[in-house]
Structure 1
Amino acid sequence: MSAERGPSTDAAARRAVIDRLDQFTASARTSLWKARAGLLVAGALLIPQAWLISQAMQQVFVEHQPVLQIRGVLVALLAVGLLRVLASAVARWSADSAVECVRHSLRATLLPRLVARGPRWLRRQSSGELVEAVTGHVDALEGHVGGYLPVRFEVMVVPVLILAAVFWVDRVVGMILLLTLPLAPVFMMLVGWGAEAASRRQLRVMARLGGHFADRLRTLGVIRIYGRAEAELEGIAQAADGLRESSLKVLRIAFLSSAVLEFFASISVAMIALYLGLSYLGMIDWRSTPLTLSVGVFCLLLAPEFYAPLRRLAAHYHDRAAALASAAELGELLDQDAPSLPVHASMALPSGLAPAVSLESIALRPSPSSEPVVRDLSLHLQPGEHVALTGASGTGKTTLLEAVAGWMPVDEGRIAFSRTPRIGYASQRPFLFQGSLADNLRLAAPEATDDDVLVAAEAAQVMRFAARWPDGLQTRVGERGFGLSGGEARRVALARLFLRKPDVLLLDEPTAFLDPATEQAVLDALLDFAQGRTLIMATHSRAVLSRFARVVDLSRWRVGEVRT
């Protein structure tokens, strides 16, 4: 029974991938039709071009007319040639526009979908593989959109026009072209199935190699410290060899598809040339009228052009296979459902400067496979209320903050706000990008002025260390805050928060690794900024806990108002 269902299942899966690929290219329909029209015009003009050439040769070599007497034919030939060049240029420009349109629309769709997966999902992914999906997999559609789709339309129309023109002047040549035409697509289809499978394997190898290399590059310092440089280089070399082998397999199939077409095209042209040659020699006479030079030249000129669209289709056929493989891989990313995040619902609570927050019997787990770290927890915060979270490591303080921020799905219960909030979250390990301190601060508010940035930096005590450097806030730091201590990076994250001016503040150990004087200065600035805003802070510091009227001890699995 499974054997009977297997082919239909495969066919349905392939149909789904093809439909997905059509959806990807839907945004470029206008540009694609312009490209197809350009190719159609350029292909159709081959017929008058071949006819003008054959007439010129007939008049000069057979009728012995002076070249000046056929200048009308030559001018017409020049005009047709220029029109073909113009039509081809329009087709190429439109195809390039279609490629850019598909790239932009697909990435604009893919990136929000990846972000919607949430931090829990993203943390389990290889950043290099995600980058490869957004860049390499999307770029794999270029040949399909800019080459295969326009040429496929050309193949359906231009050979038919050429066949009709050839039949009009010589039925035997027309029959040769008609009988040899179906053989090439059949063999190309058979080869294409293998090309699609090989292309999909190659995309996966490229994604793994991209992720492997990006992750090693990001942790280059750690690799050198532990003396693993040679071993990692050997691993990259092995991965590169795997990519080389898979690429050669794809190229071998691509060359095979082209060779199949060239074989049948060459046989067909050779048969036409043989027929015309024997007819000129008088060895065969299958025509009702004598074969003229113009008719023979016309047929010989159009015979290779009859197969030219098929040759171009063969050249792009492996692009079609690569695009199908890419669509399948991208479809897996797009089809995954985003996790169920907290519901920002309205509640019957008084409104104030900040929204009220309600946690109702929630259960949280840091990962799908782990046990819940928070069970049946209820917590209600009035507008502008400040609460400190405490407890031993592993009791769920960070998980709870991420759930309130909307980063973590809630297994049970719900989290709601009295109105839609503007949330600011400063984690234990804030991410700093390579660039200046000012650039990292402006991530929270790109429109902030230099004075705004300076005020936020001073409030978060960033200037305590930045003022000692010659370039101040223009001092450049490395990726992930290289060059800053953990406490300094936290203060930069806190300054970002001040620039964002959120309604709800979620802070995870903002004063960790600070000396007592700096901790007090940061805490004073933070509590002053938090006036009128709802604040939830996770901390182990007794100095911080002493400043909060309400403390939630998660290690006791209950909510309490405890002064420490």
Structure 2
Amino acid sequence: MTELGHNARGRLRAASALAVLSGWLLLPQAALIAHAVQRVFVENAPAAQVSAALWALLATLLLRAALGWAGRRLADQSVERIRMDLRARIARRLLERGPHWVRSQQSGALAERMGTHVDALESYFGGFVPVRAEVVWVPLAILVAAFSVDRVVGMILLLTLPLAPVFMMLVGWGAEAASRRQLQALARMGGHFADRLRGLGLIRLYGRGDSELRGIEEAAEGLRARSLKVLRIAFLSSAVLEFFASLSVAMIALYLGLTYLGMLNLRAAPLSLETGVFCLLLAPEFYAPLRRLATHYHDRAAALAAVDEIATALGPLDDAAAGPIARVAPVEDDALIAARALTVRHHAAAPLVLRDMDLTLRRGQHIALAGPSGGGKSTLLEALAGWLPLEGGEVRRADGLRIGYAPQRPFLFAGSIADNLRLAKPDATEAELRLAAEAAQVGAFADRLPDGLDTRIGERGFGLSGGEARRIALARVFLRDPDVLLLDEPTSFLDADTEAAVLRAIARFAQDRAVVMATHSAAAMAAMAQVWNVGDGRVRAMETRA
């Protein structure tokens, strides 16, 4: 937890210091109020004679307000910095783990870790951490002041102080465990709900709507029960503190009342009204930091549980993902990519998809990958692109190599077609966008849309056909201006004329570039200079044309 707040440590310490200073000002505030009461009600002094004390009291109140505002602002800035840094760390670690690991996780659960779980740290760093310092130093100052004016009041405060933290700690252990179970349930429900939303069409098609709805209702009911259990524990923690705080204040009030009535005499000197008021004003404030700590103690438990969940994404990489997927290293002659003894397995228990494969890709090579579905064509492209961890062997890339990859199911973001193209080159001009779109035959359908390339589409290309989405992905590759094109079924779902136009565009664009295209299309195979068969974990050259 301390490591997460490292970048904001200075602001957090400053916020804690300001909270302590504001608490220390309670002593002069209570002293000024008690002095004014003594002067007016006991000494019958006119208002003019206590005006100085009242002005000093006003200044103290304004200073405390200013310190509270500054401390709150520093704490909020610290929290925002921590949240941004943590989300950036999670995103970087997900990139390090690679698409293979990410695709094996529930996207909803990952989103919960970057969203709700990170937000769970807000109250810990913004509330619990500053109050934690206040709990140590403010009651200590009040305790010293209480002993200096009345040893009995000081002893009451001293003896009752340890009871509240001990019982809060006992309750807090249960709160932490309950919070962890609640966050785990929230992550599972988020992943479950996100998966069902994505498959909503299929669920309706197979008539599984009612059963899936019941499953979501059961998950929501379980989350509700866990949330209420966390709240019950939080209320119990507050009740324990309030009991001991109220008991202590009542004991002090009883002692002062009996002393004023002459029924109890534990002092060497008479008890003045000023001293009694001063002690009564400080008694509740003695426990105020503990009350605030109790308010945020549940936040600490929730933060600890959230950190455990975030550690799943931030934790050390396993052996399969820790090694280099592909590395920049010298390659022979004019080779762009060289694979040696390449071995790939999708899952630990799955059979090998590629086995001891050697492959050298040079500039100007145009290769079609043929073979049955599931034979390893897409896996080979993903391994060359650096998407998959390797079971064995290595993939070397030339220094400064640019790779353009168009997957079989390209992801298109919600936004305009132009926005999706600019993903490859954010500073692309309108002319560059238009040139790439025309080359990939995107203009053939975009020109018929209401706003052309500025037409907005939904997430995952909603509103476009599969062939149109593939052409946008191909245009994105063209715009990147890569040295190597890795294309997975770029002409599927296209009619014969459009397919021929797309293949001609690929051939023109890739004259001095390397192309590896996975395809089942006879026309696409005929357009490539070489055809390799992928199957049984091996690659075999079937045909080479001049």
Shorter-chain TM-score: which interval?
over 0.9
Contact 2:331 2:337 (8 Å CA) reproduced = no
1:562 aligns with 2:543: yes
Contact 2:131 2:292 (8 Å CA) reproduced = yes
Contact 1:549 1:561 (8 Å CA) reproduced = no
CA deviations 1:182-213 (Å, max 9, x no partner) are 11111111111000000000001111111122
CA deviations 1:91-117 (Å, max 9, x no partner) are 111111111111011111111111222
Q: Which amino acid in structure 1 is aligned with residue 264 of structure 2?
A: I
Q: Which amino acid in structure 2 is aligned with residue 236 of structure 1?
A: I
Could you tell me how far apart the structure 2 residues matched to 1:191 and 1:356 are?
62
TM-score (norm 1): 0.93
The SS at the match of 1:375 is strand
1:515 aligns with 2:495: yes
Q: Among residues 256, 269, 278, which one is paired with 1:298 in the alignment?
A: 278
Q: How does 1:50-129 map to 2 (within 5 A)?
A: 50-129=30-109
Could you tell me how far apart the structure 1 residues matched to 2:130 and 2:492 are?
61
Could you tell me how far apart the structure 2 residues matched to 1:368 and 1:446 are?
38
Could you tell me how far apart the structure 2 residues matched to 1:144 and 1:412 are?
44
Q: Which moved more, 1:526-535 or 1:321-330?
A: 526-535
The SS at the match of 1:518 is helix
Q: How does 1:348-387 map to 2 (within 5 A)?
A: 348-351=331-334, 356-387=336-367
Q: Which amino acid in structure 2 is aligned with residue 421 of structure 1?
A: L
Could you tell me how far apart the structure 2 residues matched to 1:236 and 1:542 are?
46
Could you tell me how far apart the structure 2 residues matched to 1:496 and 1:202 are?
42
1:265 maps to which residue? 245
Could you tell me how far apart the structure 2 residues matched to 1:72 and 1:418 are?
80
Q: Which amino acid in structure 1 is aligned with residue 72 of structure 2?
A: R
Mark the CA change 1:322 to 1:398 in structure 2 (over 3 Å): closer, same or farther.
same
The CA deviation at 1:421 is 1.4
Could you tell me how far apart the structure 1 residues matched to 2:211 and 2:427 are?
46
Could you tell me how far apart the structure 2 residues matched to 1:539 and 1:128 are?
32
1:343 aligns with 2:326: yes
Contact 1:360 1:377 (8 Å CA) reproduced = yes
The CA deviation at 1:29 is 0.8
Report the number of matched residues: 541
Could you tell me how far apart the structure 1 residues matched to 2:455 and 2:533 are?
40
1:458 aligns with 2:433: no
Q: How does 1:147-226 map to 2 (within 5 A)?
A: 147-226=127-206
2:513 maps to which residue? 533
1:141 maps to which residue? 121
1:493 aligns with 2:469: no
1:403 aligns with 2:383: yes
The CA deviation at 1:539 is 1.5
CA deviations 1:141-170 (Å, max 9, x no partner) are 111101111001000000000000111100
The CA deviation at 1:348 is 4.6
Q: Which moved more, 1:527-536 or 1:196-205?
A: 527-536
Could you tell me how far apart the structure 1 residues matched to 2:373 and 2:463 are?
27
Could you tell me how far apart the structure 2 residues matched to 1:357 and 1:271 are?
81
1:238 aligns with 2:218: yes
TM-score (norm 2): 0.96
Could you tell me how far apart the structure 2 residues matched to 1:342 and 1:204 are?
31
Could you tell me how far apart the structure 1 residues matched to 2:213 and 2:195 are?
13
Could you tell me how far apart the structure 2 residues matched to 1:241 and 1:397 are?
45
Contact 1:550 1:563 (8 Å CA) reproduced = yes
1:430 aligns with 2:410: yes
The SS at the match of 1:162 is helix
Q: Which amino acid in structure 1 is aligned with residue 62 of structure 2?
A: L
1:392 maps to which residue? 372
1:3 maps to which residue? none
The SS at the match of 1:154 is helix
Q: Which moved more, 1:95-104 or 1:174-183?
A: 95-104
The SS at the match of 1:24 is coil
Q: Which amino acid in structure 2 is aligned with residue 31 of structure 1?
A: R
Q: Among residues 309, 314, 319, which one is paired with 2:289 in the alignment?
A: 309
The SS at the match of 2:349 is coil
Could you tell me how far apart the structure 2 residues matched to 1:325 and 1:362 are?
41
CA deviations 1:65-104 (Å, max 9, x no partner) are 1111111111111111111111111111111111111101
Contact 1:38 1:88 (8 Å CA) reproduced = yes
The SS at the match of 2:262 is coil
Contact 1:405 1:423 (8 Å CA) reproduced = yes
Contact 1:365 1:372 (8 Å CA) reproduced = yes
CA deviations 1:474-521 (Å, max 9, x no partner) are 222222222222211111110010111112110111111222221111
Q: How does 1:251-262 map to 2 (within 5 A)?
A: 251-262=231-242
Aligned-residue identity in percent = 59
The CA deviation at 1:41 is 1.2
The CA deviation at 1:558 is 4.0
The CA deviation at 1:250 is 0.5
The CA deviation at 1:123 is 1.4
Q: Which amino acid in structure 1 is aligned with residue 282 of structure 2?
A: L
2:312 maps to which residue? 332
Could you tell me how far apart the structure 2 residues matched to 1:373 and 1:558 are?
11
Q: Which amino acid in structure 1 is aligned with residue 330 of structure 2?
A: M
Q: Which amino acid in structure 2 is aligned with residue 562 of structure 1?
A: E
Q: Which amino acid in structure 1 is aligned with residue 541 of structure 2?
A: G
Could you tell me how far apart the structure 1 residues matched to 2:439 and 2:33 are?
82
The SS at the match of 1:535 is strand
Could you tell me how far apart the structure 2 residues matched to 1:389 and 1:151 are?
64
Q: Which amino acid in structure 1 is aligned with residue 214 of structure 2?
A: E
Could you tell me how far apart the structure 1 residues matched to 2:156 and 2:331 are?
82
Q: Which moved more, 1:21-30 or 1:254-263?
A: 21-30
Could you tell me how far apart the structure 1 residues matched to 2:364 and 2:444 are?
29
Q: Which moved more, 1:48-57 or 1:85-94?
A: 85-94
2:24 maps to which residue? 44
1:18 maps to which residue? none
Q: Which moved more, 1:325-334 or 1:376-385?
A: 376-385
